[in-house]
A and B are shown apart, each in its own frame.
Chain A
Amino acid sequence: MVYLLNILMFVACFLLDTTKIVDIISIFGIMPQFVFVLLLCFCIYYSKEKSLVLAVIVGLVTDIVTASPIGAYAVLFLGASVLCSVTYENIIERSLPSALAVIFVISSILNIITYIFQIFMGKDFAFMYCLWRYILPTGVYNVIITPALYWLVGKVYYRNERIF
């Protein structure tokens, strides 16, 4: 049941990310990254081993669904998951404010790496333009959707603890 709930959450986030629903909530073309934020929330609650495996699976599915080079999102999500898990295991305590800060920082790093990846793929984007136009606004938007997803993952996590 817990697994099913987690899978359902990811499926819902995939659909939110890739269907026209996101148009309703996109602001000036900036779209929140539901799947990525959900993954980071998962990393905050669950062990680093489970987060690692999940990050690779979710990354590969994202690559397939979005027709990106296979492994691109997988390796990015893997890095994000490791960073998030290690931060929560060794540096800070689990709380909503810390989650907001960590998700802002990690999503900004992810988008900067995506920018570099785009440059390697032969695209010609001005860094400062992308930073102010996409990278930082996307980070802020991710922070806005974080409380809801953090709460959802927490609900499922504590339900899991009661069962086992």
Chain B
Amino acid sequence: MWNFINRNYWNVVIVTAVVLALICGISAFTRGELEDTPIMTGAVNVIATPVKNLFDNVGDAVGGFFGSMANAGKLTKENAQLKNRLKVLENENEHLKQFERENIRLRDMLGFKAAQGENKVVACEVVGRSFSSWNTTFILNKGTNDGIDVGNIVMNNNGLVGNITMAGNNWAQVTTLLDKDSSVSAVITRSGAVGIVEGDINESDDNMCLLNYTSKNADINSGDTVESSGLGMVFPKGLIIGKVQDIKEIKGQVNKRITVKLSADIYNLKEVMVLI
């Protein structure tokens, strides 16, 4: 085989390149029409996810070890302070548990149903990042076995993170709000002004997105809270997205350039919740 390739090197290169380019073209153009995760990607990720899990744990351990070495003295002092603080918090926690039990009892009496009562929440760990700097996606350690499916909403305690765009048995890919392909219909909580939060490569490094398609006279100020409006039928209403960071007038354009700082720190996520 090597002799054949050697004798026909440039022919082999050209034929292989053309075939691959054709496959790539077909694959790229059909991607939008596929609703399910490609079979090969699914199969590889089913095998790769446990290994990635292992490497992630090693990565955390290595990072933690070097971090500890660098701050050993400071950490000892901090540890003593934290132990004291822990005792105080344990007491407070006991009180809060009492309040929680009371709260549940009272809610039951009022027939109150919590806002997330309809949705089951699956807690997941982030085990992998996107391969390149061009996309902001990551891989979770749970998948369809735990009820996760394409389109599910991903968030953490601070706010909306993104949605599931691919899922296998034991893994799922999340496309974050920072991704250029991401868009969420949004509303300003204070004024009710609407727009669409979209990922932008120039802003994504600072954990920010753009709020586009707002009306010219929309009542929007810096610091306003932005939440999902539920209009796109993808993200439910009322999920916190972030806060308006900056508003700039652009010469010759009707719309202003409005940046939104996301509440969820996308680049430092370790655990997230998936609403299924």
A101: CB under 8 A from chain B? no
A71: CB under 8 A from chain B? yes
Q: From residue 92 to 137 of chain A, which have CB atoms closer than 8 A to chain B?
A: 114, 118, 121, 123-126, 129-130, 133-134
A138 to B134, CA, bound (A): 12
B: number of interface residues (CB 8 Å): 51
A53: CB under 8 A from chain B? yes
Q: Mark A73-92, 1 if CB is under 8 A from B, else 0.
A: 01100110010000000000
A4: CB under 8 A from chain B? no
B128: CB under 8 A from chain A? yes
Q: Mark A14-55, 1 if CB is under 8 A from B, else 0.
A: 011111111110001111010000000000000111101100
Q: From residue 179 to 226 of chain B, which have CB atoms closer than 8 A to chain A?
A: 180-181, 201-202, 205
Given contacts A64-B40, A66-B131, A67-B166, contact A75 B9 (CB under 8 A): no
Q: Within the complex, what minimum Cβ distance (angstroms) separates B203 from chain A?
A: 11
Give the secondary structure class of B's interface.
Answer: helix
Q: Within the complex, what minimum Cβ distance (angstroms) separates B37 from chain A?
A: 8
B31: CB under 8 A from chain A? yes
Question: By the criterion CB–CB under 8 Å, are A18 and B128 in contact?
Answer: yes
A62: CB under 8 A from chain B? yes
B71: CB under 8 A from chain A? no
Question: By the criterion CB–CB under 8 Å, are A31 and B27 in contact?
Answer: no
Q: Within the complex, what minimum Cβ distance (angstroms) separates B207 from chain A?
A: 11
A72: CB under 8 A from chain B? yes
Nearest A residue (CB) for B173 = A67
Nearest B residue (CB) for A28 = B205
A66 to B37, CA, bound (A): 12
B2: CB under 8 A from chain A? yes
Question: By the criterion CB–CB under 8 Å, are A20 and B56 in contact?
Answer: yes
A: number of interface residues (CB 8 Å): 51
**Residue of A21, A31, A74, A114 ringed by the most chain B CB atoms within 10 A:** A21
A163 to B188, CA, bound (A): 70
Q: What are the 8 A-B residue pairs with the smallest beta carbon separation, nearest first?
A: A71-B24, A21-B59, A71-B23, A69-B27, A69-B28, A66-B131, A49-B5, A75-B20
> A-contacting residues of B (Cβ < 8 Å)?
2, 5-6, 9, 12-13, 16-17, 20-25, 27-28, 31, 37-38, 40-41, 44-45, 48, 51-52, 55-56, 58-60, 62-63, 126-134, 139, 166, 173, 180-181, 201-202, 205, 267
Of the A-B pairs whose beta carbons lie under 8 Å apart in the complex, a sample of 5, sorted by A's number, is A20-B127, A20-B129, A21-B58, A69-B31, A126-B202
> B-contacting residues of A (Cβ < 8 Å)?
15-24, 28-31, 33, 47-50, 52-53, 56, 59, 61-62, 64-72, 74-75, 78-79, 82, 114, 118, 121, 123-126, 129-130, 133-134, 138
